Amino acid sequence: MKLEDIKSIGILGAGVMGGGIAQCAILAGKNVIVRDLTDEICENARDVILNSRFGFNKAVELGKMTAESKDDAMSRLSFTTDVAGLRDCDLIIEAIGGGEDGAIENKPLKLKVWAELDEVVNKDAVFASNTSMFTIADLAEVTSRKDRFIGMHLFSPANIMKLVEVTGTEETTDDVVQLIVDLSESWGKTSIVLKDVPGDTGFIGNRIMAAVRREAMKIVDEGVGTREDVNLAMTLGFRWPAGPFPQGPSARSGWK
């Protein structure tokens, strides 16, 4: 399958990631159908795409987009609460978040949904997961299309950040890897092609940041410096755009 063969993209999840991915796809001229559990969630996603800080209406206001191009892009976007609505899609991108435990991602839920979709979506469609941490081969295992299953991790906000981690398994075919690379580039992204490994360790970005945050917390625990000291060391000393510790009271709630 090649980029020109992708006529319709289905997106699982209408949250921040799903909505951002949808925004990229419709801007690039692809028809998109987003599926989530309720009409309310879907309508909220539509509102975010139009009215958020990086939404289309703001782009029109700033002269970065015309009203006509906005209307054209939105005409390619639809929503559904019925999984059968994704039946005829050529590519499915899963962007399902976490569960009630507060985790960012929920592996059992992803496995359940992929198994269900495999029975519904046309057998030639490619499946791509936006997971930032789970082993792609594990997710592919519950489907009958392991050769057409791949990782496509966009960073948040997906419509702004430029990197895509493309992760193929030992069974993912070369043409599927190239398809996702080409799709990413058509969205104005830069892709890196990575090797899938067992253990749910994540890919390059999350593994590096996890190590950084562990060491940063160790520095604070040892009394070497404060969170603010660590952030200043990395932003001023190494020109990082932000330090490893989130800023502000609400952002720090998950830290010691």
As to burial, measured by CB atoms within 10 angstroms (0-12 exposed, 13-18 middle, 19+ buried), residue 205 is middle
Integer Cα distance of 97 and 88 in angstroms:
24
Q: Which one of the listed residues 94, 130, 153, 159 is annotated catalytic?
A: 153
Candidates 125, 157, 113; CA nearest to 21 is: 157
87, 124, 177, 95 alpha-carbon torsion, rounded to 10°: 20
Point out the catalytic residue in the list 130, 132, 191, 231. Answer: 132
Encode 114-144: b = buried (16+ Cβ within 10 Å), e = exposed: beebbeebeeebbbbbbbbbbbbbbbbebbe
Catalytic status, residue 52 = no
153 catalytically annotated: yes
Query: Is 132 among the residues known to form the active site?
Result: yes
Rounded CA separation 58/49 (Å):
10
Catalytic residues: 132, 153, 165, 206
